[in-house]
């Protein structure tokens, strides 16, 4: 191995029953390098990482770590940790009720008693060295998600980490928090740590990474210097085909040609989650969106529309008729569907099958004492698995076994099956691959062509601009502006957030 190579994986193959997950994959990581591992869901990224961290045993291939000429055997996560390979996952596994220092050192004492005073001092020194803005004695639960991520990284670094794997670490962070995390990554890079960065945010890859390795269908597409791979070429490498210009999706869609009437209207709607009274309407065949910084109230506003949070005021009209919507079932009965931001917490029922998850909303509307026959349920499942190209071994596969993108498609199928008049999609593409994002955006525009009214929320402003013809801009849980058609641009959104005045339709 070359002196600056900290990790070399050669010819890695892994097969599961009926699936070749990795086929002769190579990967190289250098000291002091931030290296993006990219690919669609199902490309093999997770399998490669699990082989590296000892969760899976490879069928063939070899791994060398930190200049050692002999191949190493990694048969468990503990083996990986002992070799200086640490992983920080998207979902933080620390204990919020303990202090920062306790989270950094718990389970690592060689003896029964630990001198916590000295450990706090040691933790403070490391936190200062890594420029992490928190004190060792502070309770972890009082810290932001970004700082908790950093504490998890600090714990890994203090364990003589040579290779740090960051798996979707920014998916729940706002822009300021992402910058804090990137500063820490650059600090670790300067100290010689090799970082494997897995993310679906392409802009972040180009902001912080030195190299990119692309996998597709379990095979290596190539390794690239960041400067040599334009973004459009990266997307093409990931998809294996030329990607149509996503920004033209909206221009290519056919307009809804029916009656231009409001499918949903509200006046003075407010909720117990601090959403201030607002007026809002969605027209047939329109895709609109709520945008604003994290915490602006965009998600809380659509939760109020669906009555997922307790409604405290306001009136609602569906197709011009005043109705009462005080709970989700009433929203559903009035033709409203809602794909929530928290896919795992509020969306999927993990232990149920793909079929059961697809029919869930329609079964609720029908009533649980009038269950669908198995033939009906299977017909519905087959139809939407085919329509949305859901990748699953079977209709009976537990949904928790599917990739995040395919789980999201199942939830979308659930609401499409109810034939909604108005569909709310909150972060429908978060944490999923580029190809699936495009598929979901296409489905949104097809629904609008058929006259469905849609509200689309995404933390990626460009995605909102791709599909929406009207954006409601929010700040401090209040509407501060509205942009339409030719006014829609990232600059206008930022200006409105920064200096907009309160606005209601």
Residues 172-201, mean pLDDT to the nearest whole number? 87
Residues 299-318, mean pLDDT to the nearest whole number? 94
338 contacts 428 by C-beta, under 8 angstroms: no
pLDDT band at 28 (very low <50, low <70, confident <90, very high): very high
96-139 confidence digits (pLDDT tens): 888 888 888 876 655 455 676 778 888 888 888 778 888 888 88
Structure tokens at 384: 């939407």
pLDDT at 242: 45
Q: What is the pairing mode between strands 422-426 and 211-216?
A: unpaired
440 pLDDT more than 60: yes
pLDDT at 264: 96
Residues 185-204, mean pLDDT to the nearest whole number? 90
175 closest CA partner among 154, 204, 210: 204
Phi/psi region, residue 295 (left: phi>0; alpha: psi -120 to 50; beta: rest), is left
Residues 380-397, mean pLDDT to the nearest whole number? 88
Distance, CA of 344 to CA of 362 (rounded, Å): 20
246 pLDDT more than 60: no
Neighbouring residues of 492: CB distance < 8 A, sequence distance ≥ 6 = 483
Average pLDDT of the chain to the nearest whole number: 85
Q: Is 175 exposed, middle or buried (0-12, 13-18, 19+ CB in 10 A)?
A: exposed
Residues 428-449, mean pLDDT to the nearest whole number? 81
Distance, CA of 216 to CA of 210 (rounded, Å): 20
Residues 333-347, mean pLDDT to the nearest whole number? 85
Write down the residue that tokens 């900290």 correspond to. Answer: 6
52-77 confidence digits (pLDDT tens): 999 999 999 999 998 777 889 999 98
pLDDT at 501: 44
DSSP code at position 354: H
pLDDT band at 243 (very low <50, low <70, confident <90, very high): very low
494 pLDDT more than 70: yes
What pTM did the predictor assign? 0.58
Percent of the chain scored above 70 by pLDDT? Answer: 90
Query: Angle 105-109-111 (CA atoms, 0-180°, nearest 5)?
Result: 160
Q: What is the pairing mode between strands 262-271 and 278-283?
A: antiparallel
468-493 confidence digits (pLDDT tens): 999 999 887 889 899 998 898 888 88
Structure tokens at 233: 């070429």
81 pLDDT more than 50: yes
């Amino acid at each position: 191995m070359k002196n600056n190579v900290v990790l070399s994986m050669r010819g890695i193959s892994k097969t599961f029953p009926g699936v070749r997950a990795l086929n002769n994959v190579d990967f190289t990581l250098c000291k002091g390098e931030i290296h993006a591992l990219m690919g669609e869901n199902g490309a093999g990224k997770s399998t490669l990482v699990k082989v590296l961290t000892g969760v899976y045993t490879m069928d063939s291939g070899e791994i060398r770590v930190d200049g050692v000429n002999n191949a190493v055997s990694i048969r468990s996560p503990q083996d990986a940790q002992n070799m200086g390979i640490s992983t920080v996952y998207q979902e933080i596994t620390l204990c919020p009720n303990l202090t920062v220092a306790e989270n950094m050192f718990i389970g690592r004492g060689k003896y029964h008693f630990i001198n916590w005073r000295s450990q706090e001092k040691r933790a403070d020194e490391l936190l200062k060295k890594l420029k992490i803005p928190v004190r060792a004695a502070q309770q972890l639960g009082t810290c932001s998600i970004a700082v908790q991520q950093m504490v998890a990284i600090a714990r890994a670094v203090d364990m003589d980490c040579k290779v740090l794997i960051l798996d979707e670490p920014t998916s729940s962070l706002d822009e300021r928090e992402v910058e804090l995390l990137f500063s820490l990554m650059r600090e670790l890079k300067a100290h010689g740590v090799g970082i494997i960065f897995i993310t679906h945010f392409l802009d972040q890859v180009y902001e912080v990474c030195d190299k990119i390795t692309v996998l597709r269908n379990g095979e290596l597409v190539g390794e690239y210097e960041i400067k040599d791979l334009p973004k459009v070429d990266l997307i093409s490498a990931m998809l294996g085909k030329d990607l149509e210009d996503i920004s033209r999706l909206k221009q290519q869609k056919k307009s809804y040609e029916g009656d231009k009437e409001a499918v949903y209207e509200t006046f003075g709607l407010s909720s117990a989650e601090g959403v201030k009274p607002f007026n809002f309407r969605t027209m047939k065949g329109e895709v609109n969106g709520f945008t604003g910084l994290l915490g602006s109230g965009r998600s809380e506003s659509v939760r109020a529309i669906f009555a997922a949070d307790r409604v405290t005021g306001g009136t609602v009209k569906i197709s011009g008729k005043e109705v009462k919507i005080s709970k989700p079932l009433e929203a559903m009965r009035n033709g409203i569907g809602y794909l929530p931001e928290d896919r795992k917490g509020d969306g999927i029922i993990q232990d149920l099958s793909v079929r059961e998850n697809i029919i869930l909303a329609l079964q609720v509307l029908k009533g649980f004492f009038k269950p669908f026959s198995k033939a009906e349920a299977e017909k519905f499942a087959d139809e939407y698995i085919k329509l949305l190209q859901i990748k699953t071994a079977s209709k009976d596969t537990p949904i928790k076994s599917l990739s995040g993108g395919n789980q999201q498609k199942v939830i979308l199928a659930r609401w499409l099956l109810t034939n909604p008049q108005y569909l709310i999609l909150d972060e429908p593409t978060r944490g999923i691959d580029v190809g699936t994002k495009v598929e979901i955006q296409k489905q949104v525009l097809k629904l609008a062509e058929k006259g469905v009214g849609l509200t689309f929320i995404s933390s990626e402003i460009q995605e909102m601009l791709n599909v929406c013809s009207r954006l409601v801009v929010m700040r401090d849980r209040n509407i501060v502006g509205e942009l339409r058609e030719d006014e829609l641009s990232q600059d206008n959104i930022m200006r409105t957030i920064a200096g907009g005045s309160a606005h209601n339709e």
